[in-house]
A and B are shown apart, each in its own frame.
Chain A
C-alpha cells in the first residue's frame, strides 16, 4: 500500500469518525441506513430572567402525584402554550426566550420526568405484568395449536411484549432498535428516591449516541428506597402525562431519507416508538384500574367493573385513595404484583378528578369519530392495518371517564358542591380545598368539551361545573382572594390565604368561563389575579410568596404547577404583556433557579462531550447533567419534592438587567429567532418537520409556504404566524427557508 492510499484510508477513517460524532441525531440500522431521532438543543441566554436568588432542594424525593402534576402543567405551558399563544396572537415574535422556555425547557423538563420515572427508574409495576400484554399472551397461547400439541401450553408475557408488541412498534415508527433495560410502567409507586445507584454510562455507543440513551441499565433507581404504596392520584397524573405525550409524539408522521416512500408514525422515529409505548402504558393502566382497583365499600375488597355498564344507579364501586401492592421481586426483571389490597379506603376528589381528566384525554386521543392523525394509531386489525393499538380501547376510556363522573356526583357532592373527601363509613366530608375543587373543575371542563356526550349528560356535567364556579365566586373575599379550604355548603373559610389557592382559583374560574362563557367567572378570575399578582409577587426575587408577608418561600411541585397554570391561562385570556414577562421570570426562578429540576440531559443545553470531559454544567444554567447532580452517582432528571428560598438573603441586592433585543431583519435572523427551536438550525428538522429536502417547500411556489406559515397547522403543532410576524417578515423567512434547498 503506497502512502497515498494509506492517506486516503486515514482520511476516510477521520471523516467516518467526524460523521459518527456529528450524526448524533441519527441512529444507524445494521444495514447502514440511518434513522432520525430527536435532536439536542443549545442553551439560550436566560440570564435576564434570573433575579440572582437561588433556592435549595430540601426534599429530593420524587413524589409521583405532585411531580407528575407539575410535569403535566408544564407540558401544557410548553409547546402547547406556544401554539395557543400564537393562536391568540400574543406578541411572541422574535421572543427567543419565550420560545426556548416553552418549546425546549418546559417541553423537555416535562419529558424528562416522564422518561425517568416511567421508563427507566422502575418505580412501579411494568406493563409486562399488565392486562394488555397478559390478554395478548393468553390469546397467543390459545392460538398456538402446534405448541399446544407439543405440550407447551403457554406463551409468556415477555415473549409477547418483546417479540410481538414492541416489534410492531419498531416497524411502524421506523426505529431500528428498542431501548434496553427499559421498564415501561402501568402503575407508579407513591414516592421514590431518584438518586442513581451506579455511574451513568456516558460512553459513546456504536451509533454515536451515549450508551445511557439506548440502554437504561445505568439509570435505575434503588429499589429499596421507594415508598411502594400506590396512590390513585399519582397513577392518574402519570397516566394523564403518558396520554398527553403520546398525543404529542404521534400527532404527525415522518419520513426518513434512507426509507424513501415509507411513512412512519411519530414526529421522528424515536418519538414514534415512545408514543406507541406510552399508548400501551396508558391502556395497561386503564385496564388494570378497571379490572382490579375498584373498591367494594361493603367488603372493603378490590374488584373490577365493566365501565360501559356502570351506571349511576348500580352498586357503588370506586377507586380508593391508596392501594398496597404485595409484590414479587425478580431482581433483574420488573417487579410483579402478587396481590393488591386497599390501604386507604377513602375517596379523594383529587384522585377521581385526575382519573376523569386522564381518561377523558385518552378518549380524545382514541376517538374514532374525530378526524386526526391519531386515527392511524388506533385500528381494527392491529397491527396488520398499520395501527399500534386496538381501537376498541376507546370504549374503555369512555366508560371509565363516565364512571368517574358518576362517582364524583355520587360521592363527593354535598348540595351540589364538591367536597374533598368521602369515606365508606362517614360518607361525604364537609370541606373542600381549592386544590381539589380546581382540579375537579378543570377535569369537568375537559369532560364536557371532549367527551362527545349525550345531551342530557352534557347538561348534567355543565351544571355541576357551574355549581362549583358559582361556589368559588360566592366564597371569595371582598378583594377576590381565597383561603385554602372552605366548609360545604356554608362556606366557612379554613386555613391560610396562600398563593397556591389563589392560583388554583384562577385556573378553575377560567376553565369554567371557557365552557360557560359566563363573564362573572372571568371577572372573578381577574380580581383574584390582581390580588395575587400584587400581594404575593415579590418584585426583587421574581417569586410568589407563599403567604403575603412571609419572606420564607417554600414550594412543592403543586405550588409551582398551580402558579404556572394560572399565569398561562390568564395570559391567554387577557394577553397581558407584563404577565407574559412574569411567566418567563417565574418559570426560570421557580423551576431552574430553585433546585426543583434536579438534573438535566443533553436536550436542554448540556453537551455530552463536555460531560465526558468532566464539565457537568456546560451550559451554566445551574442545573447539572445527571452525573453531576446530588449524590455519589448523581440524580435523575426529575423534580424534587420541596424547594426553599430565603428572600431576606436577596434584600438589598438590586438586579437591573436591561435586555436590548435587536429586532431581526434578515430571513435568517427571523428564522433563528422564531422557527429554529422546532425546525432545527438551517431547517434540518427536529420536533417540527425538516425544511430542507421538503417537497412542499421545494416543489411548490412560495405562496403555499407563505400560506402555511400564516395559518399554521395547529393540529400537528405548527403555530399560525399571521399577525405575529409581519407580511414582510414572513416573506423574508420563506425566502430563507426556500433558499436552504435540497441537499
Chain B
C-alpha cells in the first residue's frame, strides 16, 4: 500500500511540475527566485552562497527525489520529527517550482572561480579554489614536509590517552612494561598498612642472639608518585615515600630468661626520594610481549639515624633498671658515662635497625626489567594481561649500618571482570634481602647483673626471602581515574627478622590527559 501511495505522490508531483514548473507564467517567481525571496538562502547555501545553518543544497537533487522534496516542504516536521527546518507554508505551486529548481542541483555543478592559474607542470589547475594547492584548505599537502609527521603525531598521542592506555590491564601494585605517551602526566597516591607484627612473625631468633618474648611492630607507608611520559618511550617517575613505624618489644638478650629488655621507638618521616627512568625497549606490537627496563637513583634525603626511645629499661630478676647497657669500645671495655638508657643493639648511638629507617643515609639505586603481555578477548584466557619482572636495589652501607642489597621478582595476572570498569589482579612477589649488618660491638647483660657485660659483635637483624601473594580489585570509574584495593598475604617467611603476615594497600591514580608538549596544533 505504502508503495502505491508513493507512486501516487510521484505522479502528482510530476503533473504539478509539468503544470506549473514548466508552463509558469511570466509574472510568477521562478524556483531560483523563490529560493531567495522565501529566505531559503538564509540557512542553505548553493554554490557557496547562503547560510550555513542548514545543509548545503548543491547536490540536493542527487539525494532526494522530487516527490520526497515536495512532501518535505509541505511539512518537514511530519517527515522527520524534531527537525530544525521550519514549515515555510508555501503554496502548492510555489512548492512545485522550488522542487523543480532544487532537483536541478546535482553533483558536478561546482563553484567556479576565475583563478585559473596553472599550478603544476603536469595538469592544468582545477577550476575551483579548493583545488588550488596554494589555498589554505590544502594545507594538508605540506604535512610532514617540514617537521616529521610521525613525531608530531606522537606528541599528540597523550591527547588520546583516555582510550589508548587501558588502565584495566595495568597491575595493581607491581610493575609493568607500559610507558606513558610523551607529555602525559600521572599522579598516584597509595597508602600501605602492614598488619601488626608480633613475636610469632619474627624469624631466626637464635641467630640474633635474643628471644622476642613480646614484640609489636606497626608500620604504614604513604607513597606519592609523579609520572611523566617522555619521547622515545621513556617514562620518568618520582617517588616520595612517607614512612611511619613504631616498635616496642620485650626481648631476652642472650636467652637469659630473667633478663628482659624493653626497647621501643617510633618514627614518621619522609623517606628517600627515588627517581626512576623507565624505557620500553620493545612493544607487543612488534614482538610477542613488551619489555622495559628501569634505572633508579635513591637520593639520601631520608634519615637513617632514627633512634629508639632513650628510656629503654631492663628488668633483671624483677628489678626495673635504667642505664643497663653501656656503650663499649672496640675492645669490649665499657665507655664511662655512657650507660644512659640507650639501647645499643644496632649502633653506639641507639639507632633503629635498618629496615625501620626512613632512609639509607647515602646514595642508592636500583636496576630492573619488566615484561608485559596483554591477551585479547579471543585468547585462551579471554581478556587479561600478565606482567613479570625483577628489580635489584643497591643499598650501600652508611655509618656502620649496611641494610643489604635486595632483589625482588614478581608475577601478576590482571583480568578484567566487568567490562572496562573493574579488574582483578593476582600477584606473587618474592623478595630476597641480603642480611643487614651492623658494625661494632654491643654489650649483652649478664648474670649476675653486677658482672661487667659480655660483648659480642652486633648480629644481623633481618634478611632472607619473603614471599607474598596478593589479590587486588582495580576499579576504573573513568579511564583517567583508577582506584585500587589490594590485600597481600605472606606465604613465605624470611630466614631472619620480622615480616608482616598481611598488608593492605589502597591506591588512587589520576592521569592528566592534557597537552604538555602539544605540537602541530597550528593556529
Binding site for B on A (CB under 8 A): 129, 131, 134-135, 137-138, 141-142, 151, 153-154, 156-158, 197-198, 217-218, 220, 223-224, 228, 253, 255, 257, 260-263, 287, 290-292, 302-309, 311, 325-333, 335-340, 368-369, 371, 375-376, 379-381, 384-387, 391-392, 394-396, 398-399, 402, 451-454, 457, 693, 695, 699, 742-743
Contacts and interface: CB of A to CB of B under 8 A. Distances in A.
A200 to B, nearest CB: 11
A261 B122 contact: no
A308 B286 contact: no
B122 A369 contact: no
Contact of A292 (B10, B149, B160, B513): B149
B130 A451 contact: no
Given A141-B521, A261-B67, 15 more contacts: A129-B153, A156-B160, A290-B144, A291-B149, A302-B148, A304-B149, A306-B133, A308-B141, A331-B169, A331-B375, A338-B283, A384-B56, A387-B59, A392-B140, A454-B124
Contacts of B169: 331
Nearest to B523: A142
Contacts of A380: 48, 58, 110-111, 128, 130
A742 B55 CA distance: 34
9 nearest CB pairs, A to B: A304-B144, A261-B68, A327-B285, A291-B144, A154-B159, A375-B107, A329-B284, A198-B378, A291-B149
Contacts of B28: none
A213 to B, nearest CB: 17
B376 A223 contact: yes
Given A142-B523, A262-B63, A402-B122, A308 B133 contact: yes
A600 to B, nearest CB: 21
B164 interface: yes
A154 B141 contact: no
B141 A379 contact: no
Contacts of A371: 108
Given A306-B142, A333-B163, A395 B131 contact: yes
Interface in B27-77: 45, 48, 52, 55-60, 62-65, 67-69, 71-72
19 contacts: A138-B521, A157-B160, A292-B148, A302-B148, A306-B133, A325-B286, A326-B283, A328-B285, A330-B165, A331-B385, A336-B157, A338-B285, A340-B150, A371-B108, A379-B59, A386-B59, A399-B133, A453-B122, A453-B123
Nearest to A378: B107
A interface SS class: mixed
B177 to A, nearest CB: 10
Contacts of B48: 380
Most chain B CB within a 10 A radius of its CB, from A311, A386, A743:
A386
Contacts of A302: 148, 150
A584 to B, nearest CB: 39
A693 B111 CA distance: 37
Contacts of B65: 255, 261-263
Query: Could you say which of B71, B144, B513 has the most chain A C-beta atoms within 10 Å of its C-beta?
Result: B144
B295 to A, nearest CB: 21
Given A257-B2, A394-B126, A326 B145 contact: no
Given A331-B169, A452-B123, A326 B138 contact: no
B4 interface: yes
Interface of B: 2-4, 6-7, 10, 45, 48, 52, 55-60, 62-65, 67-69, 71-72, 107-108, 110-111, 119-124, 126, 128, 130-131, 133, 137-138, 140-145, 148-150, 153-154, 156-157, 159-160, 162-166, 169, 233, 283-286, 288, 290, 374-379, 383, 385, 513-515, 518, 520-523
A156 B159 contact: yes
A134 B10 contact: no
A331 B383 contact: yes
Nearest to B521: A138
A453 B145 CA distance: 25
Given A217-B377, A392-B130, A263 B63 contact: yes
A394 to B, nearest CB: 7
B423 to A, nearest CB: 12
A207 to B, nearest CB: 20
A635 B144 CA distance: 39
Contacts of A291: 143-144, 149
Contacts of A368: 108, 110, 126, 128, 131
Nearest to A196: B378
Contacts of A154: 156, 159-160, 513-515
A11 B137 CA distance: 60
A384 B55 contact: yes
Given A156-B163, A368-B128, A379-B58, A332 B377 contact: yes
B148 A303 contact: yes
Contact of A376 (B59, B121, B142, B375): B59
Contacts of A290: 141, 143-144
B376 A308 contact: no
Contacts of A158: 160, 163
Nearest to B385: A331
From B71, B122, B374, residue with most partner A Cβ within 10 Å: B122
B69 to A, nearest CB: 7
Given A328-B285, A457-B121, A261 B71 contact: yes
B470 to A, nearest CB: 23
Contacts of B518: 153
Contact of B166 (A134, A157, A330, A394): A330
Contacts of B7: 695, 699, 742
Contacts of B149: 131, 291-292, 304
Nearest to B159: A154
A329 B285 contact: yes
Contacts of A326: 283, 285-286
B176 to A, nearest CB: 12
A328 B179 CA distance: 10
A134 B152 CA distance: 11
A215 to B, nearest CB: 11
A375 B110 CA distance: 10
A331 B518 CA distance: 25
A303 B146 CA distance: 9
Task: Count chain B CB atoms within 10 A of each CB in A156, A255, A257 and give the residue with the most.
Answer: A156
A329 B377 contact: no
Contacts of A153: 159, 514-515, 518
A304 B145 contact: yes
B171 to A, nearest CB: 14
A174 to B, nearest CB: 11
Contacts of B383: 331-332
Contacts of B288: 224
Contact of B378 (A141, A217, A304): A217
A153 B128 CA distance: 34
A369 B126 contact: yes
A332 B283 contact: no
B119 A308 contact: yes
